[in-house]
Structure 1
Amino acid sequence: MTERELFNTYNKEIYRTCYFLLQNAQDAEDACHDVFVTVFQRDFRKVVYLKAWLMRITTNHCLNLLKKSRKKREKQLQIWHLYEEARTSAKALETIVEEKSTAADWQKLFKELPDKLLVVITLRYVNDLTTTEIANVLHIPVGTVKSRLHKALKIMRNKLQEEDFYYLKGENPIEAYGR
């Protein structure tokens, strides 16, 4: 396989993984290019499990970027929460309830996950890797992958239930709020 064939075959998948981990299109594009530079500097033709190897390089690179920008992300998240509080406090409750099912809410959920859980969720549900493939990519036991998947889904479920408790029970949130 030539470098061009490798790039054409895996570019979209690596970009998608970078995007879901970094939550930013420009950062994902930069990371994707960095990953291919790293791959092309190594002898990828001798690798047996090429996709797993590429995903390993991709996730490691993205995790390194996330670690470097952790403080920056925390400050941005604090500012975002302050902005959201100010914005939503001025809105009618009906408007807030209608906006709960947006993609931004899902992104917020993903951003609240610890990096280790975010990586596993991304590899499983965005890249459709099996738990065995994820274990190979991350060099961790399959049981750990399953545990992290379970924990991530549980955290997300709890966050959704906290935010949409009345909605999940089938009650009118306007009436329930007035209790």
Structure 2
Amino acid sequence: MNQMDVRLAKMARKGDRAAFAELVELYKDKIFHLAYRMLHNKHEAEEIVQETFLRVYTNLEKYDENQKFSTWIYRIGTNLCIDRLRKRKPNYSLDAEMNDGEGTDWYSMLPSPDETPDEQVMLSETQTEIRKSIDSLPEKYKSVVILRYLQDLSLQEISEVMSMPVTTIKTRLHRGREFLRKKLEHIL
């Protein structure tokens, strides 16, 4: 697949819209799943997919054909997710009244943590616990664990995506697994 990706990227770089559309088809679901697992918001994940392909399209001339296309696109998607997570950090008081004249506070605007009926059917208790545990990982471990175990990237690929040495990736993966093991001891 790597050679096909490189060929498609070269063709898209020369203005071949069909080649770019094929790249989108190949990667849109993978990037969506990556973004959804990192952000847990369907709308934001869809936005990340669009932003990723916009960046890919506008930066095709910067793509180094000596590296895997998948690594390059995952790096773009992961960085966009990390940026989104950083911007998400609340800088407001939950008790502050909003300016709608109705005395509504931020608590009433927070989404319910309850699963929808569809999600309850789809996820077993164990899967739910594992997902919650992954969600609770510190950000630096979370992205590495998601890329390794949910996106099935190799340590070398994660190293390239995150622009970090493989030794750092191994350390973060180990610490992330230890964190998860402690969290999940009671259910497994």
TM over 0.5: yes
Which of 119, 122, 126 aligns to 2:143? It is 119
Query: Does residue 57 of the first structure (1) align with residue 81 of the second (2)?
Result: no
Say whether the 8 Å CA contact 1:21–1:122 is kept in structure 2. Answer: yes
Tell me the matched-pair count.
144
Q: Structure 1 7/25 Cα, relative in aligned 2: closer, same or farther at 3 Å?
A: same
Query: Does residue 17 of the first structure (1) align with residue 8 of the second (2)?
Result: no
- Counterpart-to-counterpart distance in 2, 1:4 and 1:127: 22
Say whether the 8 Å CA contact 1:18–1:62 is kept in structure 2. Answer: yes
Specify the SS of the correspondent of 1:146.
helix
- Counterpart-to-counterpart distance in 1, 2:126 and 2:43: 22
Specify the SS of the correspondent of 1:58.
helix
Mark the runs of 5 or more structure 2 residues left unpaired by the alignment: 1-7, 9-18, 95-105, 115-122
- Counterpart-to-counterpart distance in 1, 2:46 and 2:76: 15
Query: Does residue 7 of the first structure (1) align with residue 7 of the second (2)?
Result: no
Q: Percent identity?
A: 31
- Counterpart-to-counterpart distance in 2, 1:15 and 1:142: 25
Scaled by the length of structure 2, what TM-score is found?
0.68
Which of 147, 151, 158 aligns to 2:175? It is 151
**Which structure features the higher share of helix residues?**
1
2:160 equivalent in structure 1: 136
Scaled by the length of structure 1, what TM-score is found?
0.72
Mark the runs of 5 or more structure 1 residues left unpaired by the alignment: 85-98, 169-179
Deviation at 1:106, TM superposition (A): 2.4
2:5 equivalent in structure 1: none
Specify the SS of the correspondent of 2:152.
coil
Deviation at 1:25, TM superposition (A): 1.5
Say whether the 8 Å CA contact 1:44–1:50 is kept in structure 2. Answer: no
Deviation at 1:112, TM superposition (A): 0.9
Q: Partner letter of residue 12 of structure 1?
A: D
Say whether the 8 Å CA contact 1:117–1:148 is kept in structure 2. Answer: yes
Deviation at 1:46, TM superposition (A): 4.3
2:44 equivalent in structure 1: 27
- Counterpart-to-counterpart distance in 1, 2:151 and 2:62: 22
Deviation at 1:104, TM superposition (A): 3.1
- Counterpart-to-counterpart distance in 2, 1:112 and 1:71: 16
2:11 equivalent in structure 1: none
- Counterpart-to-counterpart distance in 1, 2:160 and 2:24: 21
Say whether the 8 Å CA contact 2:155–2:170 is kept in structure 1. Answer: yes
